[in-house]
Amino acid sequence: MTQRKASKGNDSKAIGYIRVSTTEQHLGPDAQRAAMDSWCAANGVELVAVYTDHGISGRAAIDKRPALIDAINAIAEHSAGVLLVQKRDRLARDITNAVLIDTMAAKNGAAVITTEGETSDANDPNSFLQRALKDVLAQYEALQIAARTRAALAVKKSRGERVGQVPFGHKLAADGVHLVEHDSEQRVIGLVQALRADGLSLRAITARLNDDDVPARGKKWHTTTVARLVARAAA
C-alpha cells in the first residue's frame, strides 16, 4: 500500500529547527532564533515550536538528530505548513540528508523555508539550482573542516602530543601535553601480544586478564579493548 502525501499544512504556522555543531559556535542558537523571529514577524507567521540539536554535525544521520525528528513530527501535530531554518546548512551539510529532510517535511505537510526566503517547494529551474548549489557548498565546507581537523590531529600525533583520549600504554608527561610510556601498561600490552602469539583467541586473552586480576582502566577487561590493543600492535 503506497503512503499518501499529507495535505499541505497551514502556511501561517511554522516549526523552527536550530542546529549548532561544536565547530560552528558563531552560528549559535540565539542568532538562529532571532533570525526566525524576525522572519515570522515580517511574514505574519506564528512560530509555534522550536527544536534545537546541540553539538550535532550537519553530516550526522537523521536518526542521530533527535530534535530534528521531533521538529518533523511536530509539523503534522500542529498542522504547520513551514519547517523554518536560518540557512540551508542548518538543515544539513550532506546533500542526501538535505533532500531526505525536504521530502520528510513535505510528507508531513510542510515546505522547508529559510529566513533568507528560500523554499523547498519552489521547483522552478532557478530555485532548484540555488538550493542544490547551497547544499553542495554546505557539504564541501563540512569536508574542508574535517580535512583540516585530520591534518591538525596528524601534526599533533607526529609531535607526540595528546590526541583525544590517552591511549592505553601511555600517560601524559609532566607538561600535560606530550605522551610518555606507562611502564605497567606497556607490560600488559607485551603480555597480550605474547598470549596472541601463542594462539589464544581474543575472548581467551580477555578471560585470562580478568582471571589474573591484571589491572584495567575500567572495572574489567573487555574483548573489544583487547582487540584494539592487538590491532595497534599489528599496525
Three cell numbers at 127?
Answer: 530555485
Residues 209 and 95 grouped into a single domain: no
What is the extent of the structural domain holding 60?
Answer: 10-139
Residues 198 and 124 grouped into a single domain: no
Residues 79 and 194 grouped into a single domain: no
Burial of residue 181 (CB within 10 Å: 0-12, 13-18, 19+) is exposed
* 106 and 5 Cβ atoms separated by less than 8 Å: yes
Burial of residue 27 (CB within 10 Å: 0-12, 13-18, 19+) is middle
Question: 149 lies in a domain?
Answer: no
Residue with cell 532564533: 33
Last residue within a domain, chosen from 100, 119, 139? 139
Residues 131 and 178 grouped into a single domain: no
Question: 25 lies in a domain?
Answer: yes
Residues 102 and 180 grouped into a single domain: no
What is the number of domains present in the chain? 2
Residues 95 and 179 grouped into a single domain: no
Residues 82 and 174 grouped into a single domain: no
Q: Tell me the pLDDT tens digit for each residue of 174-229.
A: 877 777 888 898 999 999 999 999 999 999 999 999 999 998 988 899 998 999 88
- For the cut 60, the answer to whether the pLDDT of residue 91 exceeds it is yes
Residues 133 and 177 grouped into a single domain: no
Q: Strands 179-181 and 111-114: what pairing?
A: unpaired
- For the cut 50, the answer to whether the pLDDT of residue 3 exceeds it is no
Last residue within a domain, chosen from 139, 159, 178? 139
Question: 51 lies in a domain?
Answer: yes
Question: 106 lies in a domain?
Answer: yes
Q: Tell me the pLDDT tens digit for each residue of 29-45.
A: 999 999 999 999 999 99
* 15 and 78 Cβ atoms separated by less than 8 Å: yes
Residues 115 and 181 grouped into a single domain: no
**Which pLDDT score is estimated for 4?**
43
Higher pLDDT, 24 or 133: 133
Last residue within a domain, chosen from 94, 120, 139? 139
**Which pLDDT score is estimated for 2?**
38
Higher pLDDT, 168 or 112: 112
Closest CA to 132 of 144, 122, 143, 147: 122
Question: 178 lies in a domain?
Answer: yes
CATH number for the domain including 37?
3.40.50.1390
Percent of the chain with pLDDT over 70: 86
Residues 15 and 102 grouped into a single domain: yes
Question: 148 lies in a domain?
Answer: no
Cut 0.85: pTM above it: no
**Which pLDDT score is estimated for 128?**
74
Average pLDDT, stretch 103-108?
94
Residues 51 and 130 grouped into a single domain: yes
Question: 227 lies in a domain?
Answer: yes
Residues 85 and 38 grouped into a single domain: yes
Question: 84 lies in a domain?
Answer: yes
